[in-house]
Structure 1
Amino acid sequence: MPHGPLDHRYRGEHPVRTLLYLYREDRFRLALGAAAFFVKHSPTWLTPVVTAHVVDVVVEHRPVAGIWVGSGLLLLVLALNYPFAILYTRWWYGSARRLGMRMRYALSRRMQQLSIGFHARVSAGVLQTKVIRDVEGIETSTQQVGDQGLAALATLGGALAVISFGAPAFLPVFLLVVPAASVLVMWLRGRLRAYNESFRQEVERLSSRVGEMTTLIPITRAHGLERTALTRMDGTLRQVFHAGMRLDGLNVRFGALAWILLNALGVGCLAGAALAAYRGWLAVTPGDVVMLSAYFASLTGAVTTLMSLTPLISRGLESVRSLGEVLEAPDVEHNEGKARVDAVRGHVRFEGVGYSYPGSPRGSVTDFTLDVRPGETVALVGASGAGKSTALNLVIGFLRPTEGRILLDGADLEDLDLRSYRRFLSVVPQESVLFEGTIRDNVTYGLEDVSEDALRRALADANALEFVDRLPGGLDTVVGDRGARLSGGQKQRLAIARALVRDPRVLVLDEATSALDNRSEALVQEALARLVRGRTVFVVAHRLSTIRNADRIVVMEDGRIAEVGSHDELLRSGGLYAAQARSA
């Protein structure tokens, strides 16, 4: 992609520094955009000068040509507004949009690198809010700072420059406005940060709650729990409301105080300039009084605008901090610099493997030792919480052992680039994960140049071709969000086809038939029988029909291996497996 990965890693430094880093690629465009804005905005600070000149022409009866010269100058700078407005938008707004694109790509890339544990802790709704709302907040802040901030700076700079030459005696009065405004901004900034952070966290909780509510709608409606769901949502909405009102209240108090102070200074300047002209204390013409009055109004307006940007900038910086929670998250799978896997035989050996989840008082898997030969099918069984899923996640590399090691064809998984290893691995989960797209897109996801014959062969081996060919669009039928237009058995057979078309050497089956009816299970079991041939397979299942033909069955209890053997061997031994088989 033209916008490559963001190599910067947010480390908790001040977000202004991070923003400057992020905009480094566009600094030249931003400079051009600022210059274009100053040209397009020049009528704002030139108008008082021309007005003062026209007033003096009228009052002092100077040659009337002065009126035409002033009017012509204003018309010229007004005409320049159009082309320079286009240039400003292209350079300044374009930079903001490019930053948004790079940030969203960087966040997406980081989320692909973060561990499954991170995604288990942080809801999808919160991450979606960061990628959409927070990046949009940074874009909006940049654009509005350009529109309002550059306008204020252009007015401020132009006014001070003209007053320095035209009425220098009044310059100290104008310069009083800046320190007065700075004191107000410093007072506000600390409080705004805390209020913005609180509001942002409440919005993230709301996003998470909305995602939860929409997921639970079938259960909610089936059990008549609509009122309960709305009560939970109402509490979250009220928290967002109160946090927003606290933030709005602070912004309003600050804006009113700044407006009163600055306009009071403007009244004082007008009275002082008029009195100086009236008494003849200074060489001030009636036109100068009009100019000074207009400039002070413009100046106070510019400073008020700059101060009103403080809440907007604070929200933008809070968005940077919010994105930093993802960009600086330490729970990352590190693959750079590790050995690539170019071929896999499928020999997996566990040597004293243990794994403990953070904060857990005991290990989920303890002293797990097992040698799985290439092409062997191993089933993991046991009660809920016995450690089966943890063992599968260790095989996939989603989790790293906290004790012992796992060898793949003799090489420690810790030393391998897991991304290259997973090209030889496929997973068929309990619930098939499909996205909004066609059957072709879902089955060949991530693969290029899959021939029509290979695709149809995979679907046929997965017992899916018969229903695919009956669909109106065939392979190009859109399956709907999460495969909503397909049955559970159909989705699962597509998941098997997705695994088959990859021709994996290591296969993980996680309760692949547990949610199916008998007919669908029979079709899926038949497809699985084709899928496992010649591959190293790890199976987790509760149904005996799924595991009885495994080469070895590993019975787990409290994270440990309790017994190992074939189906017949374990039944003869009369242990845990035999007890489970009798109760099934």
Structure 2
Amino acid sequence: TLFTLQLHLLAGTLFNLQAHLISLNDGIKYIEEDIKEQYHPKHHADVEGFTLTGVTLAKDNRTILNNINGQLMSGVNIISGKSGAGKTTLINILLGLEESHTGTALYRGHRISEALTEHILSEVSVAPQKPVLVSGTLEDNLLYGADDVCQNRLKEIVELLGFTRQGTDADALLATVIDVAGSGLSGGERQRIAIGRAILRDKPTLILDEPTAALDERTAHKIVEWLALHTRNLIIVTHDEKLKKKYGIKIELNETTADSVQV
């Protein structure tokens, strides 16, 4: 029994080491990429959000996005589509991380490109489905990338995300240790960390990538309703039928084509 226990401990250590090596390789890959001079516009046109005109993208003789037209402005904007319909690609275009498309993509009147990415991310926060975790506490992970967050605000968001339970101590919960591999965390807990992290960065625009995918319906819709009231421009990429019915659809993505829906 003792020998088996030691093997389990060794396996856990090797798994954590592998996760660190993967993160290191990713970091080296970014370091080796060419750095383009970033553009920070001093003035914005009198328009909010994103404007897409005839945005099309094809790779390996396959059309991923086809003639996207639409505006993602103030309020709740739903981008609908099943897995493989190009939702992640569209998010990358909005952030300037995918430049191989044709057509025009604008952020507040400025053409989106890799050079504008840093500026966009200074005003736009993204909650991906699978966040990168850092070694530390739950508090460290929630505050990753955030500045000057008071404890009352942090505890408010922890309660919103459903981490707390009646009788539990918020401070003890925030002190929970998390490793870089997220050992012991469920998919829903990882997703809530991603959403909380995005909220605490306090940006006027928030993009949620499938926020209801790993959460129970009650928690997911409670979070979205709160965000709809507290976020100037909320963009939700989802195939959740209830969210689509409640807020309408701005862009509908199919498996091989994508078309805008005027709402």
TM-score > 0.5, shorter chain as reference:
yes
2:56 aligned partner: 354
Cα deviation 1:377-436 (Å, max 9, x = unaligned): 222223443322211221122212531221111111238532132022122222344222
Quote the offset at 1:355 in angstroms.
2.3
1:498 aligned to which of 189, 192, 197 = 197
Cα deviation 1:476-528 (Å, max 9, x = unaligned): 22123333233333333232221221222222221222133xxx331122012
1:366 aligned partner: 66
8 Å Cα contact 1:459/1:465 also seen in 2: yes
2:89 aligned partner: 390
- In structure 1, runs of 5+ residues without a counterpart are 1-122, 132-322, 567-584
2:10 aligned partner: none
Q: Is 1:549 the equivalent of 2:250?
A: no
Q: Is 1:513 the equivalent of 2:209?
A: no
TM-score of the two chains, using structure 2 as the length reference: 0.75
Q: What are the equivalent positions in structure 2 for 1:198-237 lying under 5 Å apart?
A: none
1:482 aligned to which of 174, 181, 184 = 181
Separation of aligned partners in 2, 1:471 and 1:451: 14
State the secondary structure of the residue aligned to 1:483: coil
1:31 aligned partner: none
Quote the offset at 1:349 in angstroms.
0.2
Q: What are the equivalent positions in structure 2 for 1:270-419 lying under 5 Å apart?
A: 329=33, 332=34, 334=36, 336-340=37-41, 346-357=48-59, 360-373=60-73, 375-414=74-113, 417-419=116-118
State the secondary structure of the residue aligned to 1:365: strand
Quote the offset at 1:125 in angstroms.
5.3
Separation of aligned partners in 1, 2:67 and 2:119: 27
Separation of aligned partners in 1, 2:22 and 2:140: 27
Cα deviation 1:195-242 (Å, max 9, x = unaligned): xxxxxxxxxxxxxxxxxxxxxxxxxxxxxxxxxxxxxxxxxxxxxxxx
8 Å Cα contact 1:352/1:368 also seen in 2: yes
State the secondary structure of the residue aligned to 2:62: coil
8 Å Cα contact 2:70/2:260 also seen in 1: no
Judging by fraction of residues, say which structure has more strand. Answer: 2
After superposition, the Cα gap between the structure-2 partners of 1:438 and 1:431, relative to the gap in structure 1 and judged at 3 Å, is same
Quote the offset at 1:124 in angstroms.
8.8
State the secondary structure of the residue aligned to 1:392: helix
State the secondary structure of the residue aligned to 2:63: coil
1:525 aligned to which of 209, 221, 225 = 221
1:440 aligned partner: 139
- In structure 2, runs of 5+ residues without a counterpart are 1-18
2:124 aligned partner: 425
Q: What are the equivalent positions in structure 2 for 1:117-266 lying under 5 Å apart?
A: 128=24
8 Å Cα contact 2:250/2:261 also seen in 1: yes
After superposition, the Cα gap between the structure-2 partners of 1:127 and 1:427, relative to the gap in structure 1 and judged at 3 Å, is closer
Separation of aligned partners in 1, 2:178 and 2:22: 26
8 Å Cα contact 1:464/1:497 also seen in 2: no
After superposition, the Cα gap between the structure-2 partners of 1:439 and 1:548, relative to the gap in structure 1 and judged at 3 Å, is same
Higher relative contact order (CA 8 A, sep 6+): 2
TM-score of the two chains, using structure 1 as the length reference: 0.37
Separation of aligned partners in 2, 1:390 and 1:430: 14
8 Å Cα contact 1:349/1:407 also seen in 2: yes
After superposition, the Cα gap between the structure-2 partners of 1:365 and 1:350, relative to the gap in structure 1 and judged at 3 Å, is same
8 Å Cα contact 1:341/1:421 also seen in 2: no
CA radius of gyration, larger in: 1
State the secondary structure of the residue aligned to 1:431: coil
Separation of aligned partners in 2, 1:472 and 1:558: 45
- Count of residues paired in the alignment: 243
Quick one: which amino acid aligns to residue 249 of structure 2?
R
After superposition, the Cα gap between the structure-2 partners of 1:127 and 1:449, relative to the gap in structure 1 and judged at 3 Å, is closer
Identity %: 25
Separation of aligned partners in 1, 2:258 and 2:151: 44
Dislocated runs of 4+, deviation >6 Å: 341-345
Separation of aligned partners in 1, 2:130 and 2:203: 20
State the secondary structure of the residue aligned to 2:135: coil
Judging by fraction of residues, say which structure has more helix. Answer: 1
